[in-house]
Structure 1
């Protein structure tokens, strides 16, 4: 069970606690909503977290403006929420801010609960949003590096490549195919994709000093894999008399 307690689980639990505690400490209503916003702000990479935060911020501005407009004409009824969702969801899709749909809808239900809109209430909703997003993003700044894992994968890729080339050499000499040929090619492809996945994670987690050295390495190995695949087909037609 303890193997599942990775950094993301710990950050999610901490984000939930901190945002709810801070909301209570500063007297912000609907602290549970701030806690939920913080939880869903914990993403796989720093880049994803910042991108989704921006989406949610603009979605809330658009959505709350729309809901306030609708409620001023239709009143604070459940039918207003239904019409709001009917109009707001297509807008989120159109402007590519779908990640902010759920947060905005939850904030809109607060207006239904209050059945009134005031400056203090709007400020409170703003504090709820900012608190949840801030706690989530601050905790998400910690991301463990995958450099050791990537180095091990690089070594594994090169060893498989070496074995494949050695097998090709033997095949030309003795006109026979290695029994591990298919296994080695499948293993090479899977290992390259695994390394590329970890390299992408590291790249997305570097906000300022981005280095694509590892991505370039696995892109090069991808090209070499495709060349070897073509060579494999050609060698079937070669022989030495």
Structure 2
């Protein structure tokens, strides 16, 4: 059976609407609007906006150059070729290459008419506006992907636990099945590739806000997957004694405790450093085999440290509002994505208002302070309070570095207004 996808349906609807709208507006060459719509509908909203922006720039550029060439050299094929010779390099230079084909079609309308007028130029611009406008409107609908992405996240973490369990068994020499290992790593890689594609596509569907958490998360897991594969390869070569087996197995099992919390790696990294230091203080190897094995053990520890460091780097690179609201944004499944976005906006608003109120030393009765208290009361329901208190502490250190001794700090100011608000209400 022939499968008709959503993009095909949107293209068919958009092309039809574009023609009808162009005809209603009385535009010449109305069918060109449908072609422009067809070419402007993209896989994501952000790509559509980018393509539309390029097409609009290219339209102005091509009509300007084409008009000049036709007026100077006449309405003939040579003038058209010269206009393309000038237009195409300039379109590339001004990042409007997506509009080259559609704009060239519009210029042929001028060639076909054999004259230049304000009404004709306006007609061509209107065709582009109708075509791209309809494309943007029909592309506002995108299927929701967040549920699938969170399912991907759960499956990835589950499969990572399976891989870690396999590595632990490998350390203890409880497994020697290369076929199953290849199948395991291959299936996880396929899962990661699909999840990364969906996360990047979902990120591209947000135009007015930046939603990059899941794209960064999938990139982190991809990097960790490569490390896990290298750890498995090291275990194929090394020969461990019973003490080394116990130490490496216990350390490797710790990784599963950090899977659900990207910020819970500090203790594991410290433990990894401690074990590396202990191995460095061991007696020097006496034989070539001992030297090779000790080198491989160090390599395993270094790779494992890198595995944990990827987690830490991921958390450190999150935007401030994502760090503070990690529980609400990622782990807390009881709230919808729209509610999570609202929490992010409230967090930004809260920090901005708190800074303003503190710098102005506004009293409890000021509307800005009342608004601040309202946002705070909403936070006490939606997120863990201690997360916001930690953020306030960070802000306090940043704002109070240059304060005079007779000034109160931000934390004291905040505690004061909250205390006063409790008395009022």
Q: TM-score, normalised by structure 1?
A: 0.93
Deviates more, 1:143-152 or 1:25-34: 143-152
1:226 matches 2:226: yes
Deviates more, 1:174-183 or 1:198-207: 174-183
- Structure 1: gaps spanning 5 or more residues: none
Question: Counterpart of 1:181 in 2: which secondary structure?
Answer: helix
CA contact (8 A) 1:172 1:240 kept: no
Deviates more, 1:218-227 or 1:44-53: 218-227
Deviation at 1:215, TM superposition (A): 1.6
Partners of 2:240 and 2:182 in 1: CA distance:
20
Report the count of equivalent residues.
240
Note the 1:154-193 alignment, pairs <5 A. Answer: 154-174=153-173, 176-179=175-178, 180-193=180-193
Deviation at 1:51, TM superposition (A): 0.7
Partners of 1:126 and 1:114 in 2: CA distance:
16
1:195 matches 2:223: no
1:138 matches 2:137: yes
Deviates more, 1:162-171 or 1:172-181: 172-181
Q: Hey, what does 2:327 align to over in structure 1?
A: none
Deviation at 1:192, TM superposition (A): 1.2
Runs of 4+ with >6 A deviation: none
Q: TM-score, normalised by structure 2?
A: 0.54
Note the 1:1-241 alignment, pairs <5 A. Answer: 1=1, 4-174=3-173, 176-179=175-178, 180-236=180-236, 237-240=238-241
Question: Counterpart of 2:140 in 1: which secondary structure?
Answer: coil
Deviation at 1:189, TM superposition (A): 2.0
CA RMSD of aligned residues (A): 1.6
Question: Counterpart of 2:75 in 1: which secondary structure?
Answer: coil
Deviates more, 1:135-144 or 1:92-101: 92-101
Deviation at 1:44, TM superposition (A): 0.7
Question: Counterpart of 1:174 in 2: which secondary structure?
Answer: coil
Deviation at 1:208, TM superposition (A): 2.2
Partners of 1:109 and 1:39 in 2: CA distance:
19
Partners of 1:172 and 1:225 in 2: CA distance:
18
Question: Counterpart of 2:136 in 1: which secondary structure?
Answer: helix
Deviation at 1:127, TM superposition (A): 1.1
Partners of 1:233 and 1:7 in 2: CA distance:
43
Structure number with bigger Rg: 2
Deviation at 1:16, TM superposition (A): 0.7
Partners of 1:120 and 1:175 in 2: CA distance:
81
Question: Counterpart of 2:207 in 1: which secondary structure?
Answer: coil
CA contact (8 A) 1:41 1:133 kept: yes
Deviation at 1:223, TM superposition (A): 2.5
Deviation at 1:37, TM superposition (A): 0.5
- Structure 2: gaps spanning 5 or more residues: 243-425
Deviations 1:139-169 (A, max 9, x none): 1111111122212322322222122111112
Deviation at 1:175, TM superposition (A): 5.5
- Note closer, same or farther for the CA distance 1:109–1:88 as it changes in structure 2 (3 Å cut): same
